Amino acid sequence: MLLTSSMLIGMGGFILIEGYTAVEAFYMSVITISTVGFTEVQPLSDSGRIFTGFYIILNLGIFAYVVSVLTTYLFEGELNRMYRQYLSRRVLRKMKDHTIVCGLGRNGFKACEELLHSGEKFVVIDNSPQSLERYPLAEEFQIIIGDATQDEVLEKAGIHQARALITTLPSDADNVFITLTAREENPNLFVIARASEEKSESKLRHAGAHEVVMPDALGGLHMAQLVTKPHVIEFLNLLNGIGEESQNIELEEVEFEDLIPAFQNKSIRDLDVRNQTGATIIGFKDDKRGFLFNPSADTLMGEGDILIILGNPESIGRFREVFVLNVD
């Protein structure tokens, strides 16, 4: 575009000032822009020399601009950003059984942080290119810049191959729309939606959300319970990974299918998890009774059941090695 504009300016000037033909003006413009120093078509008048001088200065400015743009691409990370986007598109095309996070605000970023810490595959959709600037850790995320309410953006994120979607947009209406679209595109998708208002919870559930989270309500309840039940909340914070001491505590959920066959259809007493690993079974879930806290030692681990394990990183690691299939 700049080169074309420069050529037109040069040709126009040489035609008007020197009376050159279009071919002669084209030739003079080319040798002036390229600075090859070939002989002029005919000697220039004083007006022609003045025009040529300014024309050379103009082209030097264009050259300097082009150099600065190239420098930006090469030395200020633009080329690197484009290369990362190319790699990201390749990764997205191959991704499946992943989680899609819509919105990279405070709630969305925390969700991504936990998914990253847990080693889960996920992709983020956000309509603001400034998201990476707000959260430096976001450089490690697979991010699509776009509107999550658009079908083509969800398809680019692999909605048909995904296993879960978390929508954290500030607008409840947008979250309802995304939930409807996502469940229509992938009926088996597990959807978790954020709600700002209580009346939106029922709408989100009718739209197909399996779980609805209200950060404002949870935050207020949490602050009040810090007054009424401070030690209970301190313990729950440790379980949720909040605070420095929480680094020594982990929770793990294990499904029946994840257990080594030798430990399937066994009672909690027969598993003897605490003596073998140092971890503790604090919860149990089945389809009939739901969650059981501190389950009996006679509780049988059957198909579809889930164990909740508590321990430090070392004991949880030993549990995975002893009881869980496919440990790398």
**CA 171 vs CA 149, 212, 277: distances in Å:** 11, 14, 46
SS3 253: strand
Residue-level pLDDT at 136: 65
Which residues, given as ranges, of the chain have pLDDT below 50?
Answer: 327-328
- According to CATH, where is 1.10.287.70 located in the chain? 2-75
CA dist 327 and 277 (Å) reads 15
Residue-level pLDDT at 139: 67
Residue-level pLDDT at 185: 93
Residue-level pLDDT at 62: 82
Per-residue model confidence as pLDDT tens digits over 248-281: 788 889 999 999 999 999 999 999 999 999 999 9
Residue-level pLDDT at 243: 62
Q: How many C-beta atoms lie closer than 10 Å to residue 211's C-beta?
A: 11
User: Which amino acid, residue 79?
Assistant: L
Residue-level pLDDT at 4: 80
DSSP string, 165-207: EEE--S-HHHHHHHHHHHHHH-TT-EEEEE-SSTHHHHHHHHH
At the fourth CATH level, the homologous superfamily of domain 249-323 is Regulator of K+ conductance, C-terminal domain (3.30.70.1450)
- According to CATH, where is 3.40.50.720 located in the chain? 95-219
**CA 24 vs CA 11, 14, 43, 185, 313: distances in Å:** 8, 8, 13, 62, 80
Residue-level pLDDT at 288: 82
> Is the CB of residue 4 less than 8 Å from the CB of residue 33?
no
Nearest to residue 308, comparing CAs of 245, 237, 250?
Answer: 250
CATH of region 95-219:
3.40.50.720
Per the structure block, which two tokens stand in for 163? 């296993």
The CATH number, out of the four listed (3.40.50.720, 3.40.50.1970, 3.30.70.640, 1.10.287.70), of the domain defined by the range 2-75? 1.10.287.70
Per-residue model confidence as pLDDT tens digits over 67-99: 887 777 666 555 666 666 677 777 777 888 999
Residue-level pLDDT at 242: 67
Residue 256 is given by DSSP the state G
